[in-house]
């Protein structure tokens, strides 16, 4: 048995998230498993580094798959891509040590969220950005973001209450203007359900003056979802990289 790591890029616009579902074939994991199984000639399970919601994109999602023997990586990858829709691509396949697991072996992730600040939305980027044409105080947003860096209980910033632990470590949050777009990059040990999107909505509320930078630290301490900001739409979010 041989374990392989796949690196995958996808446009999440047409899909109901990463995780396979019994009632639809519109999932990234389900389509990858179909392509991998047909290529190998036997049923395979593709384990992702984590779930992405419907509408969320990826440049560097990772997954692990266990094959019965060694394969020619480039040929296997090309055959998978022939079977996949054009908005899902396996961009790298790498033989790794047995025991590697895309989710359990990961030590961190990097996400980026894109905001379109133009008065009228960019029609060509509408599936990959959130149109938010309000005047934003970028300096205040970065101050609030800096207060989130470190190891904290982020219970206020998730919509899922069954988490075993809501403690996470954020290594960096970068708020930067690129032309008429705003990019927010998040690097951390891991992120909970809706966490990056809630953090983004909270920072946007700081930027447009609805809340102060200090209120973000208070929400963090209070651990109450009602004290955090709105849930930013999925389409602006991209999983950029998974760290091992």
Annotated ligand binding at 243? The verdict is no
User: Could you tell me whether strands 57-67 and 47-48 are parallel, antiparallel, or unpaired per DSSP bridges?
Assistant: antiparallel
49 in Cβ contact with 103 (< 8 Å): yes
- Tell me whether residue 180 is one of the annotated catalytic residues: no
Nearest by Cα to 175 from 150, 211, 145: 145
- Determine the Cα–Cα distance for residues 88 and 186; give it in Å rounded to an integer: 23
How far, in Å, CA of 38 to CA of 41, rounded?
5
Q: What is the C-alpha radius of gyration for the chain, rounded to an integer number of angstroms?
A: 19
Cβ atoms < 10 Å from Cβ of 221: 12
Residue 74 host element (H or E) = helix 73-83
One-character DSSP codes across 100-133: --TTTT--EEEEEEEEE-SSS--GGGTTTSEE--
List the binding residues.
111
List the binding residues for substrate.
111
| Residues designated catalytic | 53
């Amino acid at each position: 048995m041989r374990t392989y790591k796949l690196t995958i890029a996808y446009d999440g616009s047409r899909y109901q998230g990463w995780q396979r579902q019994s009632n639809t074939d519109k999932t990234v994991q389900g389509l990858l498993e179909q392509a991998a199984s047909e290529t190998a000639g036997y049923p395979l399970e593709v384990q992702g580094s984590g779930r992405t919601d419907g509408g969320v994109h990826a440049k560097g999602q990772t997954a692990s798959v266990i094959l019965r023997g060694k394969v020619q990586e480039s040929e296997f990858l090309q055959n998978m891509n022939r079977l996949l829709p054009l908005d899902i691509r396996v961009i790298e396949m790498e033989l790794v040590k047995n025991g590697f697991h895309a989710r359990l072996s990961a030590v961190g992730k990097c996400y980026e969220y894109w905001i379109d600040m133009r008065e009228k939305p960019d029609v060509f980027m509408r599936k990959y950005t959130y149109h938010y044409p309000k005047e934003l105080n970028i300096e205040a947003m970065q101050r609030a973001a800096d207060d989130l860096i470190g190891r904290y209980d982020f219970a206020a910033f998730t919509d899922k209450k069954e988490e075993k632990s809501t403690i996470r470590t954020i290594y960096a949050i970068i708020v930067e203007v690129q032309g008429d777009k705003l990019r927010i990059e998040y690097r951390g040990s891991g992120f909970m359900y809706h966490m990056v999107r809630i953090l983004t909505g909270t920072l946007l509320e700081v930027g447009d003056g609805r809340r102060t930078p200090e209120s973000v630290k208070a929400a963090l301490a209070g651990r109450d979802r009602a004290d955090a900001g709105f849930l930013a739409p999925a389409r602006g979010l991209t999983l950029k990289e998974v760290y091992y």
